[in-house]
With several copies, the nearest count.
Chain A
């Protein structure tokens, strides 16, 4: 029986690997997701068959699955695509909290997990794994709650820098290590062990909050990804305790995934992970320096834009965060269709960190039914701007800033950008001449071949559509 169960958990782990492997292309992704569901079903059924649940227990499980499942399904159907960052953060907090309770259960009743010694005490090894699991789980929970609040606007995105925060954090870590030490000394027995456990949880919760509040709201995507990684490591730690292959494999997969996505984001922004985690970004960002020279901006109206694009041979659309905010993707798709009817070639260029989470633009364009073979990554399209008549930048800013290439003093210097300025005409749709996420001015606004279309992205595109 146990052998069969162990085998089935392995199968479930392999199915999870296949789920992620499917994501290598949109064609295979749906099948991949089904593999993932199958893996989860196998893991759950194996456990149920194995857990010797009483009738009452079975009822409880069904109730829990029903409540949780309904809530999850409703959220999944209702959520707006633009709210994905918050949603992911919220979900992470649940995984973290769930891990805390599972760790608590393992400590309170090691015998049901089959991990107790003959005298009912716990191995040092199990206690350490369990402590790691609960610590990371609790940090994931409280950290994700803060990230959610910042992303959802329930809390100001401004970094909150407490005095001596690094010392406080170190002290908390030291305290946690000390608690684990005593916990190991108790062999996990008696109410003293339970108290220590909850103390450890408390320390971790506080640590999680302190870890995230100094980080600016705009850096939250990196944080969310980092917390994703943490939730994976928490699962892996409990996989060691519970001796469960599915948990071990999944933990490692999720842990790697979050870490790699954080890395990709940091590289796309040309910032170091450490500087993100240390926080404070967004506060010190200097206002665009005023060099005293009066510069002129060429403003345009929807009709001008429509006229130019109608007569263009090739238009490349560059969407950014502003498109997401304005929910302009559907209008944009309509504009592309109108242009295609006029015989214009239309492509979309996506910067790796356009928007506020990895793949953000892709999912919004997909929502508006833009076929994904019209959508190109930076490396694949950057050489094409030279042959485009119009670069149509909608709600994007930093990802087109030439300062990243030619101004070594710029905070984004070295970050790869979309070379929209090589197109015949560059159009910017945004509401003002203000800066984007990085808080720096975009010199393109003042170039001769630039036309600024100042308005809300959705309204402006709708006007263009009328003019077309």
Chain B
């Protein structure tokens, strides 16, 4: 029984591939739906969210020795981007106003 179950277990890589593939579709559609007037904020915000790489950096800090140093540098760099990216986007978006 257990043996059968084991052969039936799918490598999580395949799931990740599915997630990645679908996310590419979502990205394709969602970016085409962005209005051209907001393409500059789009660049800034994608910048900010790509810094979610910080999740790897934070885990690295929990290690020891040089890995921790790598983690520290990576966290700092990503933090510049996160704060800078979201705030500059917010600043830009605050400028877009309707008539009146």
> A interface vs B, CB < 8 Å?
1-3, 6-7, 9-10, 12-14, 16-17, 19-21, 23-27, 29-30, 32-33, 36-37, 39-40, 43-44, 46-48, 50-54, 57, 60-61, 63-65, 67-73, 75-77, 79, 81, 84, 87-88, 91-92, 94-95, 97-99, 101-102, 104-106, 108-109, 111-114, 118, 125, 224-225, 228, 231-232, 234-236, 238-240, 242-258, 260-261, 264, 350, 352, 357-360, 362-363, 366-367, 369, 371-375, 377
Chain A residues within 8 Å of B75, by CB: 60-61, 64-65, 68
In the complex, 15 of the A-B residue pairs with CB atoms within 8 angstroms, ordered by the A residue number, are A6-B11, A20-B45, A24-B34, A30-B90, A33-B90, A47-B58, A68-B78, A92-B47, A99-B74, A105-B56, A245-B19, A254-B50, A260-B28, A358-B36, A358-B40
A29-B41, A30-B90, A372-B98 given; name 18 further pairs at CB < 8 Å.
A3-B14, A10-B14, A20-B30, A20-B46, A33-B45, A39-B52, A60-B72, A69-B80, A70-B83, A73-B87, A95-B81, A98-B73, A102-B53, A114-B5, A244-B55, A253-B31, A363-B41, A369-B95
A69 to B11, CA, bound (A): 35
Q: Chain B interface mostly helix, strand, loop or mixed?
A: helix
CB distance from A434 to the nearest CB of B (A): 26
CA distance in complex: A229, B71 (Å)? 24
Contacts known (A40-B48, A51-B61, A69-B83); A246 close to B30, Cβ less than 8 A: no
Query: Are the CB atoms of B20 and A236 closer together than 8 Å?
Result: yes
Q: Are B46 and A254 in contact (CB under 8 A)?
A: yes
B residues contacting A by CB (< 8 A) are 1-2, 4-5, 7-28, 30-68, 70-100
B45 touches A57 (CB 8 A): no
Given A54-B62, A65-B79, A359-B37, A256–B28 Cβ distance below 8 Å? yes
Q: How far is the CA of A255 from the CA of B71 in the complex (A)?
A: 24
Query: Which residues of chain B are within 8 angstroms of A254 by Cβ–Cβ distance?
Result: 27, 46, 49-50
- Shortest distance in angstroms between A426's beta carbon and chain B's nearest beta carbon? 24
Q: How far is the CB of B84 from chain A (nearest CB, A)?
A: 3
Out of B28, B48, B83, name the residue touching A68 (CB < 8 Å): B83
Of all chain B residues, the one with the shortest Cβ separation from A12 is B52
Taking a contact as CB atoms under 8 Å apart, the answer to whether A359 and B44 are in contact is no
Tell whether, in the assembled complex, residue A106 and residue B56 are in contact, meaning their CB atoms are under 8 Å apart.
yes
Find the B residue at minimum CB distance from A99.
B53
Flag if A252 contacts B24 (CB, 8 Å).
yes
Chain B residues with CB under 8 Å of A232's CB are 46, 50
User: Are A95 and B47 touching (Cβ within 8 A)?
Assistant: yes
B93 contacts A30, C-beta separation under 8 Å: yes
Q: Are B84 and A67 in contact, with the CB atoms below 8 A?
A: no
A357 with B87: CB separation less than 8 A: no
Write out the residue numbers on chain A whose beta carbons fall within 8 Å of the beta carbon of B30. Answer: 17, 20-21, 253
